[in-house]
Structure 1
Amino acid sequence: MYRFLFSSKWLGYLLLAAVFATACVFLGRWQMDRRAETLAEINRVVSNYSATPIPFAQARDQFIQLDPAKEWTQVELKGSYDAAGQRIVRNRPLNGQPGYEVVVPFRLANGETVVIDRGWLPIGNRNPGSPDSVPAPPTGDVTAVVRLKHGEPELQRGAPEGQLASIDLPTYSAQLGYPVLTGAYGQLASETPAPADAPVSFPKPSTDEGTHLSYSLQWFAFGVLMFVGFGYAARQQARNAAIDAEDQDESELDGTVHSAVPAARRRPAPPRKRKKATAEEEEDALLDAQGY
């Protein structure tokens, strides 16, 4: 009944279903991996974002090489800003609005320097390609609370004087001409004394895991439905074949009956049995034979 499944046509259909299902499984697992990354980021935010700041002495190793689990950890820094080394970072959207970020070297009391991202600025209306104004950092001794962030990769594009294409710490250090701890930078949470004018503070990262789980389940369901559809199509093909075979048997039976009836009708009738001749008829036949 299902021998047609071994035909090249149906084997091709089965292969197509298997390829499609494999692609669905791959996409589903990819969504699950993205969900796992998102959940890990959410856990870091929940654990570290609002935790009590730790002193630089405890966090120094993180500024050399940041442990991913320590991202968003609050660190208290004491020192002064190097306003001459201030840069703005291009193409930094915030809440759907284009703009810039302001990074400034921060020299610690022990002589080491870290980079602080002080906040966001909108694009300028007076000077294309730069903000209208960049608030200066506080002068003198400053106590800053920052959240640890990974440095960014170098982008293969240039930037105008006084700007950076990304927060690529080694490139920034080379521009400054003095060493900077390049394992991480700090995203500003607060600074004391507070300046009269400052960039826009960064919002708290979202803790919404998004739609990765629902998308992954949908992809897995699509893979299963492909085989369900293949099975349904095979069942319909088998049913149609059975119906066609039944119709053919009935046609052959009807043809046999119809062909048999005319043959019976055409059969010659059997010869009638002759009656026995009388004496007079025999005498007349004898005379006829003698020529009388």
Structure 2
Amino acid sequence: MREYRFLLTPQWLGWFGLAVLFATVCTFLGQWQLDRRAETVAAIRTVEANYDREPLPFTQAAGQFQQFDTGREWTPVQMTGRYLPQQSRVVRNRPLNGQPGFEVLVPFRTAAGPTVVIDRGWLPLGSNGEPAAVPAPPTGTVDVVARLKHPEGPVNRGAPPGQLASIDLGAYAAQIDGQLGAPMATGAYGALAAESPAPGTSPVAFPRPSVDEGPNLSYAMQWFAFGLLAFVGLGYAARQQAWVNRNGGLDDDEDIPAHLRSGALRKRPRRRTRRTAEDEEDALLDAAGWR
């Protein structure tokens, strides 16, 4: 192991420290990708468990609109009531299939009493930067099936009158406070699945949420592999340096492997292992003082 003592020099200790730092960063990024995958897998399981369930009666799901259990997201709820289109809002910056647009929120007063928010669907961006037209909801008594959705938080941007920057039900309720005659539920809202009677024109219906995990697991494995390769590369470089140290006295470049014939790895001075006749003669002359 003496030929590897160079590993204790400051230069090689520095390389080792850089490898440790690089591997630590790669491990952190890999774990971050695994955490993102875990969130995605949990969301997929929620979709698979709830999306195609039989709709719950509103009396069984009313509490979710007040205090939402995220494990119930996408659960269909059947309710009867009437829309309050005078207090409707459109939500800005809502892309669908890569196209910019809006979503339409309308309060819905249920026959059981509470008022909830229904997201009726998506509208494309018009030529003037506003929705081209906002289809009116059905009038009178309407039967609605909507899937439970968690509201969004506030965002750091404003919106013109009649619009919202996000599906922040608290901000929405503050805008229309006193106009509904009763408090609006802000724990959850419903993404429209069906309504009867159906209107002549409706916003674009929401597609089924994706159940694709995405590339997070692959990215995590790549980051872990990069961290491991840092030590593999350092070990390979140390092995080659030890080879150079051990074979520094080779007679010519033909004896050196091709991958070591670079200017970065300099060959040690040639070492003679046997004295020639000329060396013996020179030594005698020096001893006699004749040179």
Shorter-chain TM-score: which interval?
A: 0.7 to 0.9
Q: Pick closer, same or farther for the CA change 1:259–1:61 going to 2, 3 Å.
A: same
Q: Which amino acid aligns with 2:82?
A: S
Question: Deviation above 4 Å: which 4+ runs of structure 1?
Answer: 245-250, 254-257, 263-268
Q: Which amino acid aligns with 1:231?
A: G
Q: Pick closer, same or farther for the CA change 1:60–1:13 going to 2, 3 Å.
A: same
Distance 1:142 1:164 in 2: 25
Distance 1:57 1:95 in 2: 35
Give the gaps of 5 or more residues in structure 2: 252-267
1:159 Cα deviation (Å)?
1.2
Q: Which amino acid aligns with 1:185?
A: Y
1:125-274 to 2 correspondences below 5 Å: 125=127, 128-178=128-178, 179-244=183-248, 251-254=271-274, 258-263=278-283
Q: Pick closer, same or farther for the CA change 1:224–1:266 going to 2, 3 Å.
A: closer
TM-score by structure 2 length? 0.87
Q: Which amino acid aligns with 1:253?
A: T
Aligned pair partner of 2:51 in 49, 52, 61: 49
Q: Which amino acid aligns with 1:240?
A: V
1:3-42 to 2 correspondences below 5 Å: 3-42=5-44
**Partner in structure 1 of residue 116 of structure 2:** 114
Q: Is the 8 A contact 2:59 2:112 kept in 1?
A: no
Report percent identity of matched pairs: 57
RMSD: 1.9
Q: Secondary structure at the match of 1:111?
A: coil
TM-score by structure 1 length? 0.86
Q: Secondary structure at the match of 2:248?
A: helix
**Partner in structure 2 of residue 124 of structure 1:** 126
Larger Rg: 1
Q: Secondary structure at the match of 1:251?
A: coil
Distance 2:287 2:32 in 1: 81
The CA deviation string for residues 137-177 of structure 1, in whole angstroms up to 9 with x for no partner, is 00000110001111111122221111111111011111112
Q: Secondary structure at the match of 2:29?
A: helix
Q: Count residues with an aligned counterpart.
A: 266
Q: Secondary structure at the match of 1:52?
A: coil
Q: Secondary structure at the match of 2:206?
A: coil
Q: Which amino acid aligns with 1:124?
A: G
Distance 2:116 2:286 in 1: 116
Distance 1:90 1:259 in 2: 93
More helix by share: 1
Distance 2:132 2:15 in 1: 63
1:255 Cα deviation (Å)?
5.7
**Partner in structure 1 of residue 80 of structure 2:** 78
Aligned pair partner of 1:103 in 105, 130, 140: 105
1:181 Cα deviation (Å)?
0.7
Q: Pick closer, same or farther for the CA change 1:253–1:106 going to 2, 3 Å.
A: same
1:263 Cα deviation (Å)?
4.2
